[in-house]
Amino acid sequence: MVLVAPRSAQHEGQTEVLALLRQGGDRRPRFDPGLAGGMRAWLEDAANLVVQARGEDAPALHLGPRRLLAEEPRAHLAVDGRPEHGRMMACLVHALFRQIVTTGTVEDPLSDALAALAVEASFDQVVCQIDALSGTERRALRASLAGHANHLGTLIPALQPGWWPRTDDRVAISLAGGRVVLHGRFDLLIGAPPPANAASGTASLCAVGLTADGPWAEARRTLHLLAMLETLRSGTPPFRLALLHSGAGRYGVEDVLEEHLGAVVSHVAARLAEVARAAL
């Protein structure tokens, strides 16, 4: 992945990101049409081992990026189960990211982000924790979030409607008859979905990921996992991945390679094997 340092000029940063996303768009790569089938067969074998170990009557097992990739799946939680500061900031930054992609503007970063989170029940805990902050803590949070918002405004280019930009695109892949489900969520997908039952193998999507302050390598692995899930969903992976780091104001862009997908499938199959052994 090509890493690019922060830029001081907003228009210049946006132009660079846009140019890298569009580069080579007139000659989209082709992938082996049998790639998705081979990946699915590999994962089906691993998922069936999980079902055998857990029992046919066990409830469906849902596995997302945190459980599939992270060394410590609950590292983002404090001892009492409340979201830590990093998790809180990530939720706020992602809300601003969606707003900037959709409208192109942010007026008051903290107020705008809280308003977005307040309409989704899944963020009630985060909103309550922010409401409980002291005045000093809230001012510090506001200042920090303003820095993230400034970086996002510098990096996110205006996306034309014809690019089909869509945020929080959820993908879920059922294995072993639906008893194992691999899932994830794209921060942003750009491009028209591949035609149904298309056999050309021509890639048509660009995926953009966002991390607020998390490790770069971890966020990149998550993007590779999502690219694998998209391959299973549509039959063709995204042709390009971009990762934005709102804390540092930097970004990276890379083309999707079959070796990336192979490495992720191997890792996920191994993680499923661990789950099966733990269930015995």
Which tens digit of pLDDT belongs to each residue from 221-264? Answer: 999 999 999 999 999 999 999 999 999 999 999 999 999 999 99
| Overall number of domains in the chain | 2
Same domain, 89 and 125: yes
What would the pLDDT profile of 44-100 be if each residue is shown by its tens digit?
999 999 999 999 899 999 999 999 996 644 443 343 344 467 889 999 999 999 999
Same-domain pairing of 151 and 171:
no
Residue 234 inside a domain? The answer is: yes
pLDDT at position 26, please? Answer: 57
Residue 79 counted as domain residue: no
Q: How confident is the model at residue 149 (pLDDT cuts 50, 70, 90)?
A: very high
Residue 78 placed within a domain: no
Residue 140 lies in domain: 85-155
Lowest mean pLDDT among 80-89, 109-118, 208-217, 231-240: 80-89
**Residue where a domain stops, chosen among 155, 172, 195:** 155
On average, the pLDDT of the chain sits at 87
Same domain, 206 and 193: yes
Residues 68, 166, single domain; the answer is yes
Q: Which residue has the higher pLDDT, 3 or 36?
A: 36
Among 83-97, 125-139, 160-174, 213-227, name the one with the lowest average pLDDT.
Answer: 83-97
pLDDT at 160: 86
Q: Which of 116, 138, 155 is the last residue of a domain?
A: 155
- Residue 31 covered by a domain: yes
Higher pLDDT, 280 or 227: 227
Q: Average pLDDT, stretch 124-130?
A: 94
Q: Is the pLDDT of residue 8 over 70?
A: no
For residue 270, being part of any structural domain is answered with yes
Q: What is the pLDDT of residue 22?
A: 65
pLDDT (mean) for 146-168: 91
Q: Across residues 26-44, what is the average pLDDT? A: 86
Q: Do 165 and 273 share a domain, yes or no?
A: yes
Residues 95 and 123 in one domain: yes
pLDDT over threshold 60, residue 3:
no
As a whole number of angstroms, the distance between CA 123 and CA 85 comes to 14
What's the rounded Cα separation, in Å, for the pair 54 and 47? Answer: 11
Full DSSP string of the chain: -EEE---S-HHHHHHHHHHHHHTTTTS--B--TTHHHHHHHHHHHHHHHHHHHH-TTSPPEEE-HHHHH-SSTTTTB-TTS-B-HHHHHHHHHHHHHHHHHHHS--SSHHHHHHHHHHT-GGGHHHHHHHHT--HHHHHHHHHHHHHHHHHHHHH-----GGG--EEEEEEEEEEGGGTEEEEEEEEEEESPPPPTT--S-B---EEEEEESSS-HHHHHHHHHHHHHHHHHHHSS--SEEEEEETTTTEEEEEE--HHHHHHHHHHHHHHHHHHHHHH-
**Do 148 and 163 have their domain in common?**
no
Q: Are 136 and 168 in a shared domain?
A: no
25 has pLDDT over 60: no
End-of-domain residue from the set 98, 124, 155: 155
pLDDT of residue 13: 62
Structural domain contains residue 186: yes
pLDDT at residue 182 is higher than 60: yes
In a domain, 239, yes or no: yes
Q: What is the pTM of this model?
A: 0.87
Residue 32 lies in a domain: yes
Say if residue 162's pLDDT is above 90: no
Indicate whether 40 and 164 sit together in one domain.
yes
Looking at the structure, tell me whether residues 38 and 175 fall in a common domain: yes
Say whether both 66 and 124 belong to one domain: no
* 125 and 235 inside one domain: no
Give residue 122's pLDDT band: very low, low, confident or very high (50, 70, 90): very high
